[in-house]
Amino acid sequence: MERRWGLQAKMTATYVAVTAGAVLLTELVIFGAAALSPPAPLTAQDLLTRAQETAQGLAAKLAVTIEKAGRLPSTTLGVPGTPVTTGQAQPDSSGGLAVPQTSAPECDLAPASFAVVVSRTGKVLASSYPACYPVGSLGSTAQAGAPRKVLLSFGWPAGGSGRTSLPTGNVVWAAKPVVVAAPGQAKGAQPPGPGKLFGMLYLEVPASAPGRR
């Protein structure tokens, strides 16, 4: 009798061990598949939110670097070394979007992520994509004047944001005022008053982006 109960206990223990092993193996397979599968692309709303936050952050950073003479210390925008991903916006780890310094010799807005600062008169003050937005110009006349036209898509002094379909493709954009603080006024204070609005930061990215884990 003792021998039979001992055998039964061993069989039970073996069954439990095998079952537990199978469950563990299944979980590992599921987790492994999830880790290897590509993340879901960002939605249009996700991209719009990221574009708004990125434009706001860039505008605020520029505002505090403007010299007393009323000019920017640099006319070059964007992050050097950031790859240009054709037709895809690039989400970053901080919840925003990457803006590369694009040195392509020809203007092609269809695949581009770019930022530009423009004055109230339409003059380009700083740019991450000089082929489309040369500093000192009103924007390139390439692609049937598309670069110049997009700078008319927002209002002054509020800016704006949205998703739109252009001849060059579907894009997400955001425009935020670059506000220079008056003496005794907190930097970046809103709304901008007379003489406090330096320019407008315009950001545009393709309306498509991979997801992030």
Q: What is the DSSP string of 139-193?
A: ---HHHHHHHHHTTSSBTTTBEEEEEEETTEEEEEEEEEEEPPPTTS-TT-SS--
Q: What pLDDT was estimated at residue 62?
A: 93
Q: What pLDDT was estimated at residue 35?
A: 40
Q: With CA atoms as reference, report the closest residue to 151 among 130, 107, 194, 121.
A: 121
Tens digit of each residue's pLDDT, the chain (213 residues):
555 555 565 555 555 455 545 544 545 434 433 344 445 667 888 889 999 999 999 999 999 888 777 789 899 999 998 888 878 888 888 889 999 999 999 999 888 899 999 999 999 999 999 999 999 999 999 988 989 998 988 989 889 999 988 777 889 999 999 998 765 555 444 544 444 799 999 999 998 877 554
Q: Find the helix or strand (DSSP H, E) in which 6 lies.
A: helix 2-36
- Nearest 5°: the CA angle 77, 160, 166 is 80
Q: What pLDDT was estimated at residue 1?
A: 52
Q: What pLDDT was estimated at residue 175?
A: 96
Q: What pLDDT was estimated at residue 21?
A: 53
Q: What pLDDT was estimated at residue 126?
A: 97
Task: Please say whether the beta carbons of 151 and 115 come within 8 A.
Answer: no
